[in-house]
Structure 1
Amino acid sequence: MASELVFPGETVPAKHVNLKLGPGLLQQATLSNPSESSVVSTKAGLLQHSANRSKWWVDSNARRYVPAPQESVIGVVTQRLGEGYRVDIGEAHQASLDALAFEGATKRNKPNLKVGSLVYARVSLAHKDMEPELECFDAQTRKAEGFGELKGGFVVRCSLKMCRQLLDSKHFLLPLLGGKFPLESAIGMNGRVWISAKEPKQIIAVARCIEAVDPDGGGMDAVEAKAFLETLDA
């Protein structure tokens, strides 16, 4: 199915037993029958869905990140507050992260994050009238599944569209870079990508390639990116 252009207020055909709505979509009661609900678009863009149609979202080249439940984000701890933390995720409001929202965390054994620490987390609560809430484990398995504190490495800022592309397993960039040298990465839907490699020059190469491929930057395709990577000392 070709992507459909939608505008704010339009009803979209998002239906599934395990329906999950991403950015740009809102589920609300219908006016004619309050017991029923419909899904409407809250912003203009291209309507997208996963292969099994369980996940739906509106793809737009927004500049500012708006949290949506179950999205992965990279945040910076800005404050320790009681039994948790305040985290900057690039949104209008700071997010909260409970100290027990980590794999295996207990009141006696929990992470001790410092101001400035990086975390890879999942949005557990997102509402326009409340501050976002984060968790650093998979809600179903209670396992870390890659979430938690990010140590070392470097954070590259890019467009929200670039992050969505990097999360697509079919996108060419990360396999291209991984074939050149070993690297680790964590991709946040909030316009931040964490990268770690053995040598600083390799991290610089990854950062420059992300900027070059970013639709808001150079917009290079696979052939151009491969040629560009060859010019870098990595």
Structure 2
Amino acid sequence: MATANSRPTVLPGDEIDPSLIPQSKNKPLRLGPGLRHIPPNTILPTVAGQLITLPHKSSMWVEYNSNRYTPTASDLIIGTILRSGPDFYYVSLSPYTASATLPHLSFEGATKKTRPQLVPGSLVYARVTLANKHMDPELECASASTGKADGLGPLTGGMVFDVSLGFARRLLMGRSRQEGKVEVLELLGGDEGKLSFETAVGRNGKVWVGSENTKTVVIVGRALKETDEKGLGVEAQRKLVRRLVKETR
């Protein structure tokens, strides 16, 4: 069975070998970008790239170079409020993606009187609940089953930094050591950087960084951008963190 370190190249329309598909008795298979399920059991790539599988999460997707974000159900995204309608907020996900809808009451504990009052330009951390080519994407900021936000909701203060879609994916996979060893955030908050901050990572290539210290926000943003753009390994990330922290003290 393939793992994140075993990356066969796939082409559009080539059926995925069943031996490469994660099998789990407890978790349903989750297909990410670049794959399509054709009932009953066929999985086809829709783009050319490397097939990535994570057996422990029963998930798989195709890693490919793209500057355009395509919404997929369950994606975590950082969106910008465009305007408010009678029942929904209209949210921008990227310059090349149709605006998404976010119900006014899709926030933890929200009622018509207590729901967040979000103005154009406000940021939200949300989950994609519906995504297909025939309808605009739909979002939620609280689980439909539990009503809990689980970290989703309005983002106040801080700054948003644009990163590549591939880098955002790597950050969202738990900063897995298997997935490219992206450890820059841990280094910044650990003994190397000793910085205090919080982040939210959007699958649409956006990272929000919040901190009471503006310099910290700038350092974290610069570290993320440089790690992404230069494809830095762990040791290079460590050196980068040391340099940025030293420069701003």
196-205 vs 76-85, greater mean Cα deviation: 196-205
Among candidates 169, 173, 184, match of residue 175 of structure 2: 169
1:24 aligned residue: 34
2:205 aligned residue: 191
1:65 aligned residue: 69
Instruction: Describe the shift of the 1:140–1:157 C-alpha distance in structure 2 as closer, same or farther (beyond 3 A).
Output: same
How far did residue 92 of structure 1 move? 2.1
Q: Which runs of 5+ in 1 are unaligned?
A: 30-35
How far did residue 9 of structure 1 move? 1.1
Q: 1:73·1:122 contact (CA, 8 Å) conserved in 2?
A: yes
1:227 aligned residue: 239
Name the SS of the counterpart of 2:66 in structure 1. Answer: coil
How far did residue 41 of structure 1 move? 0.8
223-232 vs 155-164, greater mean Cα deviation: 223-232
Q: Which runs of 5+ in 2 are unaligned?
A: 177-181
1:178 aligned residue: 189
* Residue correspondences, number: 226
Q: What TM-score comes out, normalization by structure 1 length? A: 0.91
Among candidates 98, 101, 104, match of residue 93 of structure 1: 98
1:115 aligned residue: 120
Among candidates 144, 150, 153, match of residue 149 of structure 2: 144
Name the SS of the counterpart of 2:225 in structure 1. Answer: helix
Amino acid at match of 1:172: E
Q: Aligned partners of 1:218, 1:52: CA distance in 2, in Å? A: 29
Q: Which has the higher helix share?
A: 2
Name the SS of the counterpart of 1:174 in structure 2. Answer: helix
The sequence identity of aligned pairs, in percent, is: 38
162-171 vs 74-83, greater mean Cα deviation: 162-171
How far did residue 115 of structure 1 move? 0.6
Q: 1:22·1:57 contact (CA, 8 Å) conserved in 2?
A: yes
Instruction: Describe the shift of the 1:177–1:50 C-alpha distance in structure 2 as closer, same or farther (beyond 3 A).
Output: same
2:216 aligned residue: 202
Q: What TM-score comes out, normalization by structure 2 length? A: 0.85
Q: Aligned partners of 2:57, 2:150: CA distance in 1, in Å? A: 24
Amino acid at match of 1:203: V
